Amino acid sequence: MSRLVKGILTFVVAFAIIFALQQNESVLASDIETDSQEIIEAYDNIRFYSSYNYQTLTEDRLNQLIVDFYVPATYGDVTITWSLTSDFLTLSDNIETISVQSTSGLVDISVYHVSIVKVPTILQGDQVFELVGYFQYQDVSATSSYFGTLVPTIPDTFYGGVLYTFIRYIKLFLEGAALTLGISLVGTVIGFFLALLIVSGKTLTISDFDTSFVRAMKQVLQKISSFYIVLFRGTPMIVQASFFWYGLGLFGDALLCGLFVVSLNTAAYIAEIIRGGINSIESGQTEASKSLGMTRFQTMRYIILPQAIKNSMPAIGNEFVINIKDTAVLSVIGIFELFNQTRKIAGMHYRQLEAYFVVAIIYLVLTYTVTSLLKRVEKRMDLPVKELPSSN
């Protein structure tokens, strides 16, 4: 089917070209108007050729220039003289001949050589240049401007490469960092609330006067909570992510699935943190609360949990910092967080060392900044201060 369509299209296009050429011939036969017509056509159809395999430079490629290129000296009968003002490029005075591939095989073309005399550094940035063509045909002439951009190329040195990678791709890095921070923060917050549920399950106490049904329910909930914690702390997050994304195809959206995995994973860790926080509250307060007639729920809600959570805040903050680092594994399910973004960048110039060096610095800056911010908050809130966290 598609072959048929292609065939028809080719036929139609070929016919259109023949038709157009016939028209041109008939126009050429007339006088002065035809001359200007030639010129207009010349600078409409002008082509530049890259020094790399003499490929035709489309307008797009001219704006991403990294190699020498050629400008035509003539277009049919129209002669073209060029002028170029740029500190980075020079235009040769003499005409060269190159062979370019066309539909009718190799064709020799007279060209001027535009060579790069100086590669702009990443600090100098993209260099826009203007090529002015002067078209002459018999006694008619016209000028036209073409704009292109010479872009910096990655230096061979390590430091140059690092600087280049950083400046050139800062936007991509920042996008990745924003995603990393976003997933980590949202994941930690959701994980916190999930953890409260898990902790309530895990710290259920069975009292002597529970009915057997209530007792059984409590035991089941306790078991489920414990199992949840063992499961999520005992398996790598990369496996969890792959399981939920590739295995179950959850949500049909990798980002949502990733957020889901981070939240569940963090919940297991925070649950253990809060449980420790609860255990650290002296039992006297629970007894006092009981002796005043408060229920177990009220005691938890108003007395124990507020203190346990407050004491757990530094450790929960650490979980956030750990997540900033550990969400790198979400690259496995195709989320373009900071690490995956870096892999993409590293592939652009095949310069792994520079890309991963830059991202290491970015990760360090992120974790260090967040850690110091959290420390400040902790001091304000009069919480116990913790050191820079290690990974889970």
Partner 1 sequence: MNEYILQVRNLHKYFAELEVLKGINLDVSKGEIISIIGSSGSGKSTLLRCINFLEQPTQGQIIYHGVNFTERQQDLIDLRKNIAMVFQQFNLFNNLSVIDNLTIAPVKVLHKDKTASKAKAMEILDLVGMKEFAYKNTKLLSGGQKQRVAIARSLMMDPEIILFDEPTSALDPEMVGEVLDVMKNLAQTGITMLIVTHEMQFAREISDRVIFMHEGIVHEEGLPEEIFMHPKETRTQDFLKRVIKG
Q: Work out whether 265 is an interface residue with partner 1 (CB under 8 A).
A: no
Unique residue bearing structure tokens 């989320």? 335
Which of residues 108 and 382 has its CB atom nearest to partner 1 in the complex? 382
The count of other CB atoms within 10 Å of the CB of residue 82 is 17
Stretch that binds partner 1, among 44-52, 64-72, 203-211, 337-345 (CB under 8 A): 203-211
Q: Using CA atoms, how far apart are residues 379 and 98, in angstroms rounded to an integer? A: 72
Q: Work out whether 282 is an interface residue with partner 1 (CB under 8 A).
A: yes
Closest distance of CB 167 from partner 1, Å = 50
Stretch that binds partner 1, among 36-44, 50-58, 294-302, 350-358 (CB under 8 A): 294-302
Which of residues 186 and 303 has its CB atom nearest to partner 1 in the complex? 303
* Contact partners, residue 343, CB within 8 Å, separation at least 6: 331, 355
Which of residues 270 and 305 has its CB atom nearest to partner 1 in the complex? 305
Closest distance of CB 297 from partner 1, Å = 10
User: In the set 208, 248, 387, 390, which binds partner 1 (CB under 8 A)?
Assistant: 208
Q: Work out whether 213 is an interface residue with partner 1 (CB under 8 A).
A: no
Which of residues 76 and 306 has its CB atom nearest to partner 1 in the complex? 306
Size, binding site for partner 1 by CB under 8 A: 21
Which of residues 131 and 199 has its CB atom nearest to partner 1 in the complex? 199
Backbone φ and ψ of 240, nearest 5°: -60, -45
Closest distance of CB 202 from partner 1, Å = 22
The site string for partner 1 over 297-326 (x = CB under 8 A, - otherwise) reads -x---xx--xx--x----------------
Q: Using CA atoms, how far apart are residues 204 and 200, in angstroms rounded to an integer? A: 6
Stretch that binds partner 1, among 30-38, 159-167, 296-304, 360-368 (CB under 8 A): 296-304
**Binding residues vs partner 1 (CB under 8 A):** 207-209, 282, 284-285, 287-295, 298, 302-303, 306-307, 310
